[in-house]
Amino acid sequence: MKRLRCDQTPAWAALHLCFEANGKTFDLREAFAADPQRFEAFSQQAPHVFADLSKNLIDAPSQALLLDLAGQCGLLQHRDAMFAGALINSTEQRAVMHFLLRNPALAQAERAADATKNIATELTQVHATLNAMLAYADQVRADAAITDIVNIGIGGSDLGPQMAVLALSEFATTGKRFHFVSNVDGHELAGVLAQCQPHSTLFLIASKTFTTTETMTNAHSAKDWFEAQGGQDIGRHFAALTTNVAAANAFGIHTTFGFWDWVGGRYSLWSAIGLPIALAVGSDGFRELLAGAHAMDEHFRTAALEENLPVRLGLLDVWYRNFHGFTSRSIAPYSSALRRLPAYLQQLEMESNGKRVDADGNTLPFDTSPVLWGEPGTNGQHAYFQMLHQGTSIIPVEFVAVKTAAHDLPGHHDKLLANVLAQAQALMLGKLDAGGHRHFPGNRPSTFLLLDELTPASLGALIALQEHRVFVSGALWGINSFDQWGVELGKVLAKDMEARLHSGDAAGLDGSSAGLLQRICTK
Protein backbone atom coordinates (compact mmCIF):
# COMPACT_ATOMS: atom_id res chain seq x y z
CA MET A 1 0.00 0.00 0.00
CA LYS A 2 1.32 3.44 -0.95
CA ARG A 3 1.36 5.78 2.03
CA LEU A 4 0.22 9.39 1.98
CA ARG A 5 2.95 11.65 3.31
CA CYS A 6 1.93 13.89 6.19
CA ASP A 7 2.25 17.18 4.30
CA GLN A 8 -0.08 15.89 1.58
CA THR A 9 -3.06 15.42 3.92
CA PRO A 10 -5.93 17.77 4.85
CA ALA A 11 -5.04 17.26 8.53
CA TRP A 12 -1.59 18.78 7.96
CA ALA A 13 -3.10 22.06 6.78
CA ALA A 14 -5.60 21.98 9.63
CA LEU A 15 -2.77 21.48 12.12
CA HIS A 16 -0.99 24.54 10.77
CA LEU A 17 -4.13 26.59 11.32
CA CYS A 18 -4.52 25.10 14.80
CA PHE A 19 -0.94 25.96 15.67
CA GLU A 20 -1.24 29.54 14.45
CA ALA A 21 -4.54 30.05 16.30
CA ASN A 22 -3.69 28.41 19.61
CA GLY A 23 -0.55 26.24 19.54
CA LYS A 24 2.10 28.94 19.46
CA THR A 25 0.64 30.74 22.49
CA PHE A 26 -0.45 27.66 24.43
CA ASP A 27 0.32 27.97 28.14
CA LEU A 28 0.48 24.89 30.34
CA ARG A 29 -0.31 26.82 33.51
CA GLU A 30 -3.50 28.18 31.99
CA ALA A 31 -4.40 24.74 30.65
CA PHE A 32 -4.17 23.14 34.09
CA ALA A 33 -6.11 25.98 35.68
CA ALA A 34 -8.88 25.61 33.11
CA ASP A 35 -9.09 21.81 33.22
CA PRO A 36 -8.82 20.02 36.59
CA GLN A 37 -8.95 16.70 34.71
CA ARG A 38 -6.02 17.48 32.41
CA PHE A 39 -3.73 14.95 34.10
CA GLU A 40 -6.27 12.16 33.64
CA ALA A 41 -6.91 13.12 30.00
CA PHE A 42 -3.25 13.25 29.04
CA SER A 43 -1.82 10.31 30.95
CA GLN A 44 -2.21 6.58 30.57
CA GLN A 45 -0.99 3.18 31.66
CA ALA A 46 0.60 0.96 29.03
CA PRO A 47 2.27 -2.40 29.71
CA HIS A 48 4.83 -1.80 32.50
CA VAL A 49 5.01 1.95 31.71
CA PHE A 50 2.86 4.80 33.02
CA ALA A 51 3.11 7.95 30.91
CA ASP A 52 2.19 11.48 31.95
CA LEU A 53 1.86 13.61 28.82
CA SER A 54 -0.07 16.41 30.55
CA LYS A 55 2.93 18.75 30.76
CA ASN A 56 3.20 18.86 26.98
CA LEU A 57 2.08 21.73 24.75
CA ILE A 58 -0.97 19.92 23.48
CA ASP A 59 -4.72 20.08 24.01
CA ALA A 60 -7.74 18.07 22.92
CA PRO A 61 -8.22 19.83 19.55
CA SER A 62 -4.56 19.51 18.52
CA GLN A 63 -4.48 15.89 19.67
CA ALA A 64 -7.63 15.14 17.68
CA LEU A 65 -6.08 16.64 14.55
CA LEU A 66 -2.89 14.65 15.07
CA LEU A 67 -4.97 11.48 15.32
CA ASP A 68 -6.69 12.52 12.07
CA LEU A 69 -3.25 12.93 10.55
CA ALA A 70 -2.31 9.40 11.58
CA GLY A 71 -5.45 8.04 9.97
CA GLN A 72 -4.99 9.99 6.75
CA CYS A 73 -1.35 8.87 6.46
CA GLY A 74 -2.37 5.21 6.71
CA LEU A 75 -0.50 4.60 9.96
CA LEU A 76 -2.65 1.63 10.92
CA GLN A 77 -2.16 -0.01 7.53
CA HIS A 78 1.60 0.57 7.67
CA ARG A 79 1.73 -0.88 11.18
CA ASP A 80 -0.29 -3.90 10.11
CA ALA A 81 1.96 -4.37 7.08
CA MET A 82 4.98 -4.58 9.38
CA PHE A 83 3.30 -7.18 11.60
CA ALA A 84 2.28 -9.16 8.50
CA GLY A 85 5.87 -9.39 7.27
CA ALA A 86 5.52 -7.04 4.29
CA LEU A 87 8.74 -5.64 2.80
CA ILE A 88 8.36 -2.20 4.39
CA ASN A 89 12.15 -1.65 4.28
CA SER A 90 11.70 -0.69 0.65
CA THR A 91 15.24 0.38 -0.23
CA GLU A 92 16.64 -3.00 0.82
CA GLN A 93 13.51 -5.01 -0.04
CA ARG A 94 13.34 -6.54 3.41
CA ALA A 95 10.69 -7.24 5.97
CA VAL A 96 10.98 -5.61 9.39
CA MET A 97 10.20 -8.28 11.96
CA HIS A 98 12.21 -7.68 15.10
CA PHE A 99 8.89 -8.12 16.94
CA LEU A 100 9.10 -11.84 16.09
CA LEU A 101 12.19 -12.13 18.25
CA ARG A 102 10.11 -11.52 21.37
CA ASN A 103 6.99 -13.37 20.25
CA PRO A 104 6.14 -16.34 22.47
CA ALA A 105 6.59 -19.71 20.81
CA LEU A 106 3.69 -20.60 18.51
CA ALA A 107 1.69 -17.52 19.56
CA GLN A 108 1.89 -15.92 16.14
CA ALA A 109 1.71 -19.18 14.23
CA GLU A 110 -1.52 -20.14 15.98
CA ARG A 111 -3.23 -16.89 14.92
CA ALA A 112 -4.01 -17.92 11.36
CA ALA A 113 -5.62 -14.59 10.61
CA ASP A 114 -2.49 -12.69 11.54
CA ALA A 115 0.27 -15.09 10.57
CA THR A 116 1.48 -15.94 7.11
CA LYS A 117 3.11 -19.30 6.53
CA ASN A 118 6.42 -17.47 6.13
CA ILE A 119 6.11 -15.79 9.53
CA ALA A 120 5.21 -19.10 11.17
CA THR A 121 8.33 -20.70 9.65
CA GLU A 122 10.51 -17.79 10.73
CA LEU A 123 9.11 -17.95 14.25
CA THR A 124 10.02 -21.63 14.52
CA GLN A 125 13.60 -20.77 13.53
CA VAL A 126 13.65 -17.84 15.95
CA HIS A 127 12.83 -20.06 18.89
CA ALA A 128 15.26 -22.77 17.85
CA THR A 129 18.05 -20.16 17.86
CA LEU A 130 16.78 -18.58 21.07
CA ASN A 131 16.70 -21.92 22.89
CA ALA A 132 20.21 -22.80 21.75
CA MET A 133 21.56 -19.37 22.74
CA LEU A 134 19.95 -19.46 26.18
CA ALA A 135 21.19 -22.98 26.83
CA TYR A 136 24.70 -21.78 26.02
CA ALA A 137 24.24 -18.73 28.25
CA ASP A 138 23.20 -20.85 31.22
CA GLN A 139 26.13 -23.18 30.59
CA VAL A 140 28.61 -20.28 30.69
CA ARG A 141 26.92 -18.79 33.75
CA ALA A 142 27.48 -22.08 35.57
CA ASP A 143 31.14 -22.17 34.55
CA ALA A 144 33.03 -20.60 37.45
CA ALA A 145 36.25 -20.64 35.42
CA ILE A 146 34.90 -17.85 33.17
CA THR A 147 35.07 -14.59 35.11
CA ASP A 148 35.20 -11.97 32.33
CA ILE A 149 32.97 -11.63 29.29
CA VAL A 150 34.10 -9.20 26.59
CA ASN A 151 31.57 -8.20 23.95
CA ILE A 152 33.22 -6.87 20.81
CA GLY A 153 30.78 -5.12 18.49
CA ILE A 154 29.72 -1.65 17.40
CA GLY A 155 26.48 0.24 16.82
CA GLY A 156 23.51 -1.99 17.52
CA SER A 157 25.85 -4.83 18.43
CA ASP A 158 27.10 -2.75 21.34
CA LEU A 159 24.69 -0.01 22.39
CA GLY A 160 21.68 -2.22 23.09
CA PRO A 161 23.42 -5.03 24.96
CA GLN A 162 25.57 -2.62 26.95
CA MET A 163 22.60 -0.47 27.93
CA ALA A 164 20.56 -3.50 28.99
CA VAL A 165 23.34 -5.21 30.96
CA LEU A 166 23.94 -2.01 32.92
CA ALA A 167 20.23 -1.45 33.42
CA LEU A 168 19.72 -4.96 34.80
CA SER A 169 22.82 -5.10 36.96
CA GLU A 170 20.68 -5.88 40.02
CA PHE A 171 19.63 -9.11 38.31
CA ALA A 172 23.09 -10.07 37.03
CA THR A 173 24.96 -13.16 38.07
CA THR A 174 27.79 -12.81 40.54
CA GLY A 175 31.36 -13.80 39.77
CA LYS A 176 31.37 -12.44 36.22
CA ARG A 177 32.40 -9.05 34.91
CA PHE A 178 31.04 -7.66 31.65
CA HIS A 179 33.08 -5.49 29.31
CA PHE A 180 32.07 -3.83 26.05
CA VAL A 181 34.52 -2.87 23.33
CA SER A 182 33.26 -0.97 20.30
CA ASN A 183 35.70 1.78 19.36
CA VAL A 184 38.51 1.00 16.95
CA ASP A 185 40.63 3.24 19.18
CA GLY A 186 42.99 0.65 20.65
CA HIS A 187 43.01 2.36 24.03
CA GLU A 188 39.54 0.95 24.70
CA LEU A 189 40.47 -2.66 23.99
CA ALA A 190 43.84 -2.34 25.73
CA GLY A 191 42.14 -1.01 28.86
CA VAL A 192 39.79 -4.01 28.94
CA LEU A 193 42.49 -6.58 28.24
CA ALA A 194 44.57 -5.20 31.11
CA GLN A 195 41.80 -6.36 33.44
CA CYS A 196 41.50 -9.89 32.02
CA GLN A 197 43.32 -13.20 31.98
CA PRO A 198 43.12 -15.43 28.87
CA HIS A 199 42.18 -18.59 30.76
CA SER A 200 39.14 -16.92 32.39
CA THR A 201 37.85 -14.71 29.57
CA LEU A 202 35.11 -15.33 27.02
CA PHE A 203 35.10 -13.07 23.94
CA LEU A 204 31.87 -12.52 22.02
CA ILE A 205 32.41 -11.28 18.46
CA ALA A 206 29.20 -9.57 17.37
CA SER A 207 29.13 -8.85 13.64
CA LYS A 208 26.34 -9.92 11.32
CA THR A 209 28.68 -10.25 8.34
CA PHE A 210 31.86 -10.89 10.33
CA THR A 211 33.44 -8.12 8.24
CA THR A 212 32.68 -4.92 10.21
CA THR A 213 35.99 -3.04 10.21
CA GLU A 214 36.02 -1.87 13.83
CA THR A 215 34.75 -5.16 15.20
CA MET A 216 37.10 -7.38 13.23
CA THR A 217 40.11 -5.18 14.00
CA ASN A 218 39.34 -5.52 17.70
CA ALA A 219 38.57 -9.24 17.32
CA HIS A 220 41.91 -10.01 15.68
CA SER A 221 43.77 -7.96 18.29
CA ALA A 222 41.93 -9.82 21.06
CA LYS A 223 42.84 -13.13 19.47
CA ASP A 224 46.48 -12.09 19.15
CA TRP A 225 46.53 -11.04 22.81
CA PHE A 226 44.87 -14.31 23.84
CA GLU A 227 47.50 -16.40 22.06
CA ALA A 228 50.43 -14.21 23.13
CA GLN A 229 49.36 -14.53 26.76
CA GLY A 230 49.38 -18.30 26.53
CA GLY A 231 45.69 -18.74 25.91
CA GLN A 232 44.59 -22.08 24.49
CA ASP A 233 41.40 -23.40 22.95
CA ILE A 234 39.99 -20.49 20.96
CA GLY A 235 36.88 -22.57 20.45
CA ARG A 236 36.12 -22.41 24.18
CA HIS A 237 37.05 -18.78 24.73
CA PHE A 238 35.51 -17.18 21.63
CA ALA A 239 31.92 -17.23 20.36
CA ALA A 240 30.43 -15.38 17.39
CA LEU A 241 27.07 -13.70 16.89
CA THR A 242 26.98 -13.73 13.11
CA THR A 243 25.38 -15.13 9.99
CA ASN A 244 28.78 -15.70 8.38
CA VAL A 245 29.52 -19.06 9.97
CA ALA A 246 32.28 -19.90 7.47
CA ALA A 247 34.25 -16.76 8.34
CA ALA A 248 33.81 -17.41 12.05
CA ASN A 249 35.05 -20.98 11.59
CA ALA A 250 38.09 -19.72 9.69
CA PHE A 251 38.79 -17.42 12.66
CA GLY A 252 38.76 -20.48 14.91
CA ILE A 253 35.28 -20.01 16.35
CA HIS A 254 32.87 -22.93 16.34
CA THR A 255 30.15 -21.61 18.66
CA THR A 256 27.98 -19.31 16.56
CA PHE A 257 24.48 -17.91 16.86
CA GLY A 258 22.88 -16.24 13.87
CA PHE A 259 20.00 -13.96 13.06
CA TRP A 260 18.08 -12.75 10.02
CA ASP A 261 18.22 -9.98 7.43
CA TRP A 262 14.91 -8.64 8.75
CA VAL A 263 16.65 -7.70 12.02
CA GLY A 264 18.22 -4.24 11.84
CA GLY A 265 21.24 -3.61 14.05
CA ARG A 266 19.50 -1.06 16.25
CA TYR A 267 16.65 -3.54 16.77
CA SER A 268 18.85 -6.58 17.41
CA LEU A 269 19.29 -6.82 21.19
CA TRP A 270 16.36 -9.27 21.20
CA SER A 271 18.33 -11.63 18.93
CA ALA A 272 21.60 -13.49 19.40
CA ILE A 273 23.17 -10.03 19.73
CA GLY A 274 21.55 -10.05 23.17
CA LEU A 275 23.74 -12.94 24.36
CA PRO A 276 25.59 -10.66 26.83
CA ILE A 277 22.22 -9.82 28.39
CA ALA A 278 21.34 -13.51 28.68
CA LEU A 279 24.75 -14.20 30.22
CA ALA A 280 24.09 -11.48 32.77
CA VAL A 281 20.49 -12.21 33.78
CA GLY A 282 20.08 -15.83 32.72
CA SER A 283 17.59 -17.50 30.42
CA ASP A 284 14.60 -16.72 32.63
CA GLY A 285 15.57 -13.05 32.86
CA PHE A 286 16.08 -12.82 29.11
CA ARG A 287 12.67 -14.38 28.47
CA GLU A 288 11.13 -11.83 30.84
CA LEU A 289 12.81 -9.06 28.82
CA LEU A 290 11.24 -10.50 25.67
CA ALA A 291 7.87 -10.86 27.37
CA GLY A 292 7.82 -7.21 28.42
CA ALA A 293 8.61 -6.12 24.88
CA HIS A 294 5.95 -8.46 23.48
CA ALA A 295 3.35 -6.96 25.80
CA MET A 296 4.16 -3.52 24.36
CA ASP A 297 4.06 -4.97 20.82
CA GLU A 298 0.53 -6.20 21.46
CA HIS A 299 -0.46 -2.83 22.91
CA PHE A 300 0.86 -1.09 19.78
CA ARG A 301 -0.73 -3.68 17.50
CA THR A 302 -4.20 -3.68 19.04
CA ALA A 303 -4.90 -0.51 21.04
CA ALA A 304 -7.05 2.22 19.52
CA LEU A 305 -5.02 5.16 18.26
CA GLU A 306 -6.22 7.51 20.99
CA GLU A 307 -5.21 4.99 23.67
CA ASN A 308 -2.04 3.79 22.01
CA LEU A 309 1.00 5.13 23.85
CA PRO A 310 3.59 4.67 21.05
CA VAL A 311 1.18 6.46 18.70
CA ARG A 312 0.59 9.33 21.11
CA LEU A 313 4.33 9.81 21.64
CA GLY A 314 5.10 9.62 17.92
CA LEU A 315 2.39 12.17 17.12
CA LEU A 316 3.74 14.46 19.82
CA ASP A 317 7.18 14.19 18.21
CA VAL A 318 5.74 15.33 14.87
CA TRP A 319 3.84 18.17 16.54
CA TYR A 320 7.02 19.43 18.20
CA ARG A 321 9.36 18.97 15.25
CA ASN A 322 7.21 20.28 12.43
CA PHE A 323 4.95 22.84 14.07
CA HIS A 324 6.74 24.14 17.16
CA GLY A 325 10.10 23.78 15.42
CA PHE A 326 11.85 22.17 18.38
CA THR A 327 15.15 20.73 17.19
CA SER A 328 16.08 18.36 19.99
CA ARG A 329 14.78 16.26 22.87
CA SER A 330 16.64 15.68 26.11
CA ILE A 331 16.44 12.22 27.70
CA ALA A 332 16.76 12.37 31.48
CA PRO A 333 16.59 8.95 33.14
CA TYR A 334 16.46 9.39 36.91
CA SER A 335 18.06 6.00 37.37
CA SER A 336 21.78 5.42 37.36
CA ALA A 337 21.14 1.96 35.94
CA LEU A 338 19.65 3.60 32.82
CA ARG A 339 22.67 5.83 32.25
CA ARG A 340 23.28 4.44 28.75
CA LEU A 341 19.66 4.86 27.68
CA PRO A 342 20.26 8.27 26.02
CA ALA A 343 23.07 6.86 23.86
CA TYR A 344 20.94 3.87 22.90
CA LEU A 345 17.99 6.09 21.97
CA GLN A 346 20.26 8.34 19.92
CA GLN A 347 20.97 5.50 17.53
CA LEU A 348 17.42 4.18 17.59
CA GLU A 349 15.84 7.48 16.58
CA MET A 350 18.52 9.39 14.70
CA GLU A 351 19.70 6.47 12.57
CA SER A 352 16.10 5.46 11.88
CA ASN A 353 14.57 8.85 11.13
CA GLY A 354 17.54 11.08 10.33
CA LYS A 355 16.55 11.11 6.64
CA ARG A 356 16.20 13.90 4.08
CA VAL A 357 14.20 12.01 1.46
CA ASP A 358 10.97 10.06 1.63
CA ALA A 359 10.57 6.38 0.82
CA ASP A 360 10.32 7.24 -2.89
CA GLY A 361 13.55 9.26 -2.83
CA ASN A 362 11.88 12.68 -2.95
CA THR A 363 13.52 15.50 -1.02
CA LEU A 364 11.45 16.34 2.04
CA PRO A 365 10.19 19.91 2.52
CA PHE A 366 10.06 19.53 6.31
CA ASP A 367 12.33 18.44 9.16
CA THR A 368 12.57 14.88 10.45
CA SER A 369 14.42 13.42 13.44
CA PRO A 370 15.27 15.72 16.33
CA VAL A 371 18.65 15.50 18.02
CA LEU A 372 18.47 13.24 21.08
CA TRP A 373 20.82 13.79 23.98
CA GLY A 374 20.95 13.58 27.74
CA GLU A 375 22.45 12.31 30.95
CA PRO A 376 21.03 10.59 34.02
CA GLY A 377 19.53 12.68 36.77
CA THR A 378 20.48 14.19 39.09
CA ASN A 379 23.82 14.64 37.29
CA GLY A 380 22.23 16.55 34.43
CA GLN A 381 20.82 19.11 36.85
CA HIS A 382 24.37 20.19 37.61
CA ALA A 383 25.36 20.32 33.96
CA TYR A 384 22.85 21.32 31.28
CA PHE A 385 19.57 21.93 33.12
CA GLN A 386 20.52 25.61 33.33
CA MET A 387 19.84 25.81 29.59
CA LEU A 388 16.63 23.80 29.84
CA HIS A 389 15.20 26.26 32.37
CA GLN A 390 16.58 29.60 31.18
CA GLY A 391 18.10 29.11 27.76
CA THR A 392 16.79 30.71 24.58
CA SER A 393 15.78 27.40 23.00
CA ILE A 394 12.85 25.33 24.20
CA ILE A 395 13.90 21.70 24.52
CA PRO A 396 11.28 19.10 25.44
CA VAL A 397 12.52 16.79 28.18
CA GLU A 398 11.65 13.14 28.61
CA PHE A 399 11.99 12.07 32.22
CA VAL A 400 12.21 8.37 33.05
CA ALA A 401 11.77 7.41 36.71
CA VAL A 402 11.45 4.21 38.70
CA LYS A 403 8.97 4.10 41.57
CA THR A 404 10.71 1.46 43.68
CA ALA A 405 14.46 1.28 44.24
CA ALA A 406 16.45 -1.94 44.07
CA HIS A 407 18.71 -0.86 46.96
CA ASP A 408 17.96 -0.32 50.63
CA LEU A 409 20.05 2.77 51.33
CA PRO A 410 17.81 5.06 53.41
CA GLY A 411 16.80 8.45 52.03
CA HIS A 412 18.43 8.18 48.61
CA HIS A 413 15.44 7.20 46.52
CA ASP A 414 13.13 9.76 48.09
CA LYS A 415 15.61 12.49 47.20
CA LEU A 416 15.94 11.13 43.65
CA LEU A 417 12.17 11.04 43.10
CA ALA A 418 11.73 14.46 44.71
CA ASN A 419 14.23 15.90 42.26
CA VAL A 420 12.65 14.43 39.12
CA LEU A 421 9.19 15.57 40.19
CA ALA A 422 10.52 19.02 41.04
CA GLN A 423 12.36 19.44 37.74
CA ALA A 424 9.27 18.61 35.70
CA GLN A 425 7.25 20.99 37.87
CA ALA A 426 9.82 23.79 37.62
CA LEU A 427 10.06 23.52 33.84
CA MET A 428 6.30 23.94 33.58
CA LEU A 429 5.61 26.55 36.29
CA GLY A 430 8.70 28.73 36.09
CA LYS A 431 9.20 31.63 38.49
CA LEU A 432 8.61 35.35 38.01
CA ASP A 433 11.50 37.64 38.93
CA ALA A 434 11.60 41.28 37.95
CA GLY A 435 15.39 41.36 38.19
CA GLY A 436 15.75 39.00 35.27
CA HIS A 437 18.59 36.73 36.34
CA ARG A 438 16.35 34.67 38.61
CA HIS A 439 13.43 34.67 36.20
CA PHE A 440 12.30 31.24 34.97
CA PRO A 441 9.89 31.60 32.02
CA GLY A 442 8.30 28.19 32.53
CA ASN A 443 5.86 26.67 30.05
CA ARG A 444 8.65 24.29 29.04
CA PRO A 445 7.29 20.88 28.06
CA SER A 446 8.16 17.48 29.43
CA THR A 447 7.01 13.89 29.30
CA PHE A 448 7.21 11.68 32.38
CA LEU A 449 7.60 7.90 31.97
CA LEU A 450 7.26 5.95 35.21
CA LEU A 451 8.15 2.30 35.85
CA ASP A 452 7.00 0.59 39.03
CA GLU A 453 10.32 -1.26 39.14
CA LEU A 454 13.27 -1.61 36.80
CA THR A 455 13.05 -5.29 35.85
CA PRO A 456 13.78 -7.27 32.69
CA ALA A 457 10.08 -7.07 31.78
CA SER A 458 9.71 -3.33 32.36
CA LEU A 459 12.95 -2.60 30.50
CA GLY A 460 11.74 -4.69 27.56
CA ALA A 461 8.47 -2.76 27.47
CA LEU A 462 10.26 0.61 27.71
CA ILE A 463 12.56 -0.22 24.78
CA ALA A 464 9.73 -1.56 22.61
CA LEU A 465 7.73 1.59 23.38
CA GLN A 466 10.57 3.70 22.00
CA GLU A 467 10.96 1.48 18.92
CA HIS A 468 7.30 1.82 18.00
CA ARG A 469 7.25 5.54 18.71
CA VAL A 470 10.05 5.97 16.16
CA PHE A 471 8.05 3.85 13.71
CA VAL A 472 5.06 6.18 14.10
CA SER A 473 6.86 9.46 13.39
CA GLY A 474 8.79 7.87 10.51
CA ALA A 475 5.55 6.55 9.01
CA LEU A 476 3.93 9.98 9.09
CA TRP A 477 7.00 11.59 7.57
CA GLY A 478 6.82 9.01 4.77
CA ILE A 479 10.40 7.86 5.22
CA ASN A 480 12.01 4.44 5.44
CA SER A 481 12.97 4.17 9.11
CA PHE A 482 14.82 0.88 8.60
CA ASP A 483 17.77 1.64 6.34
CA GLN A 484 20.90 3.67 7.15
CA TRP A 485 22.66 4.64 3.94
CA GLY A 486 24.10 7.69 5.67
CA VAL A 487 26.73 5.57 7.43
CA GLU A 488 28.23 4.24 4.19
CA LEU A 489 30.13 7.15 2.62
CA GLY A 490 32.45 7.73 5.55
CA LYS A 491 33.35 4.03 5.64
CA VAL A 492 34.35 4.06 1.97
CA LEU A 493 36.46 7.19 2.36
CA ALA A 494 38.13 5.80 5.48
CA LYS A 495 39.56 2.88 3.51
CA ASP A 496 41.14 5.28 1.03
CA MET A 497 42.40 7.50 3.82
CA GLU A 498 43.97 4.57 5.67
CA ALA A 499 46.04 3.74 2.60
CA ARG A 500 47.09 7.39 2.30
CA LEU A 501 48.24 7.40 5.94
CA HIS A 502 50.80 4.76 4.99
CA SER A 503 51.86 6.37 1.72
CA GLY A 504 51.53 10.03 2.66
CA ASP A 505 49.95 10.62 -0.76
CA ALA A 506 47.55 13.58 -0.60
CA ALA A 507 47.00 13.84 -4.36
CA GLY A 508 43.42 14.55 -5.33
CA LEU A 509 42.26 15.46 -1.83
CA ASP A 510 40.53 18.68 -0.89
CA GLY A 511 42.76 21.29 0.72
CA SER A 512 41.65 20.66 4.30
CA SER A 513 41.95 16.86 4.13
CA ALA A 514 45.34 17.14 2.41
CA GLY A 515 46.63 19.57 5.02
CA LEU A 516 45.48 17.40 7.93
CA LEU A 517 46.88 14.25 6.33
CA GLN A 518 50.29 15.83 5.82
CA ARG A 519 50.34 17.17 9.37
CA ILE A 520 49.51 13.72 10.78
CA CYS A 521 52.05 11.98 8.56
CA THR A 522 54.87 14.39 9.39
CA LYS A 523 57.17 12.76 11.93
Which residues participate in catalysis according to the annotation?
A: 351, 382, 491
**Distance separating alpha carbons of residues 45 and 165, to the nearest angstrom:** 26
Are 455 and 337 within 8 A, CB to CB? Answer: no
d(C-alpha 265, C-alpha 89), whole Å: 13
Is residue 258 within 8 Å of 129, Cβ to Cβ? yes
Continuous H helices in 86-206:
117-141, 159-167, 186-193
Beta strand ranges found along 366-484 (DSSP E): 371-374, 397-402, 446-451
C-alpha distances in angstroms, 45 versus 50, 226, 299, 422, 448? 4, 50, 11, 22, 12
Short-list 194, 298, 192, CA closest to 204:
192
SS3 (DSSP) at 328: strand
Number of CB atoms found within 10 A of residue 503's CB: 10
43-46/177-181 β-pairing: unpaired
Of the candidates 412, 119, 168, the one whose C-alpha atom is nearest the C-alpha of residue 274 is 168
Task: Mention every residue, 6+ apart, whose C-beta is less than 8 A from residue 302.
Answer: none
